[in-house]
Structure 1
Amino acid sequence: MSKTQGSRGKSQQQTKLFSSQDKEANKMATSASEASVQPLTLDMLVGELEKLRKDVTGELTVSMNTALAPIQASLQKITDTVAIHTATITGMETALSAHSDGITTLEREVAVLKSKLETTNQVNDRLQLAVEDLISRSKRQNLHVIGIPEGMEGDDARLFMTTLFKKMVGDPQLDTLELDRAHRSLALKPPQGSRPLIVHFHKYAQKERVLLWARKSRDVSYQGHPIRIFEDFSATLAKKRAAFNKVKSQLYKEGIRFGLLYPARLRVTINGQARIFDSRKRQSVSTRFIAVSE
């Protein structure tokens, strides 16, 4: 019984304590409410709003500065990079402009050199033709004699060939035959066979008579040695004339009349009509016509 009564006493004391605290709080709230019920003037409202504005502005400024700091740093890096690239591009543009000017100058110089080269080539071609003509003219009175063994001419090749032509040709017009010189070609002596003899006639007409006799004659020989006689041409002209060898063989087989004109032109006669071909073209011959293909 005593314990129960003690508990009830404590509960009553606590209830009284809480009640007194509530009363005190209510008094304070009532006094605060009474104090706040004061009239609100316009100045007070403006002041409170200004204070609020400053507080909000300050907080926003701090927040924005904090948020924008990394962006500003990145923008600064980008600005620096752009400045470097701009300087590099400016330098490249300057160098490109200089190179472009240099290329333009070189193109003009190359055009001038090309023009000079073309002129030089034309002059060179004319000079080559002139030299070729001079060489050919210097050989017009020459004949190549192939087949005479080495040493048969003895010490005086000119006298030997003079006697040989007079004896073999038997032409009265060759009784006064004059040879300016006669010698072996300057090539090295071959192990077998002999080098050709080059004979220079004093008179062109006598050289032509010997050549005509050689063309008409067959199986020409001297002391048992077959002999062939040809005109003497420069290497260039000989190559041009040799270009007709194949077609000449075909013409001969077909029984078509032909002739090789000086310096290197082929004359073909078919059905009484003559056609002349330059050595720069290739000719092919059939039984009825000649087709010229470039």
Structure 2
Amino acid sequence: MGDAERSLTACSDDIETLKREVKRLGVLADSLQNKCEDLESRSRRNNIRIVGVPEGPNSCSTTSVADLLQEAFNLADAPLIDRSHRSPQPVPKQGQRPRTIVARLHYYKDCATILSQAKEKQRIKVKGVTISVYPDYTAQVAKARAAFNGVRQQLRGLEGARFGIAHPARLRITYNGTEKSFLNPEEAQAYVTQTITPHAARTDRQMPS
């Protein structure tokens, strides 16, 4: 019995030690993952994604992409592009959507200018085709931003509400002079439903017909 008790005590001590070690390693893994995500996001800071450019010889060369962007956004000079390539997917068949072009601009100022105009124009007609230009987010950031789509759609119909997403995925809502920031879509949805929507509904009822 004494030997069994000593063995059980030793096992219990080992288990507690392992629990603390697993917890420490979990915190370390989360920290390393966040750092890797931050580094990848920073490495894409000057990248843009161009959707809608037909497949073809040299269609994604740096010269072709620079000329396309200059014409699409009425730039005084063609932007300097370090490199550009199609997304790593199988070549589409006839009639299928062309692969996205990923381009890295040399100067961040050019990247910011293009993305700002692209956000206003949304779909741009150039060289007989319609293209769209977006930031090049990591998969995790893109997923986190997409989680707010439902809340943003609801806010578009509410008068007096202004909103936007700050990098990487923080939703900012301004209503009646009060600004709120949310990292969690559920919290943002609850705030809109409980605070903004009822007030907006009362405002609509009070408007003269």
- Which category of TM-score, normalised to the shorter sequence, fits these structures? 0.7 to 0.9
SS at match of 1:227: strand
CA distance in 2, matches of 1:290, 1:278: 20
Are positions 1:269 and 2:174 aligned together? yes
Q: How high is the TM-score relative to the length of structure 1?
A: 0.61
The partner residue of 1:189 within 91, 116, 119 is: 91
Question: Aligned residues: percent identity?
Answer: 31
Are positions 1:222 and 2:129 aligned together? no
For this pair of structures, how many residues does the alignment match? 193
SS at match of 2:29: helix
5 Å matches for 1:172-211?
Answer: 172=76, 175=77, 177-191=79-93, 192-211=96-115
Q: 1:280 to 1:120 in 2, by over 3 A?
A: farther
The root-mean-square deviation of aligned C-alpha atoms, in Å, is 2.1
CA distance in 1, matches of 2:193, 2:10: 58
Contact 1:162 1:177 in 2 (8 A): yes
CA distance in 2, matches of 1:217, 1:200: 21
Equivalence for 1:142: 47
The partner residue of 1:158 within 53, 62, 75 is: 62
Equivalence for 2:205: none
SS at match of 2:157: helix
Tell me how far 1:253 sits from its aligned partner: 2.2
Equivalence for 1:112: 17
- Bigger-Rg structure (1/2): 1
CA distance in 2, matches of 1:239, 1:282: 17
Tell me how far 1:127 sits from its aligned partner: 0.4
Tell me how far 1:123 sits from its aligned partner: 0.9
Deviations 1:257-288 (A, max 9, x none): 11110011011111122111114644323496
Tell me how far 1:196 sits from its aligned partner: 0.6
Q: Any stretches of 5+ residues in structure 1 without a counterpart? A: 1-93
CA distance in 1, matches of 2:194, 2:23: 44
Q: How high is the TM-score relative to the length of structure 2?
A: 0.84
Contact 1:254 1:287 in 2 (8 A): no
CA distance in 1, matches of 2:177, 2:30: 37
SS at match of 2:41: helix
Tell me how far 1:289 sits from its aligned partner: 1.3
Tell me how far 1:100 sits from its aligned partner: 2.4
Tell me how far 1:222 sits from its aligned partner: 2.5
Q: Which amino acid aligns with 1:245?
A: N
The partner residue of 2:164 within 259, 262, 266 is: 259
Q: 1:152 to 1:229 in 2, by over 3 A?
A: farther
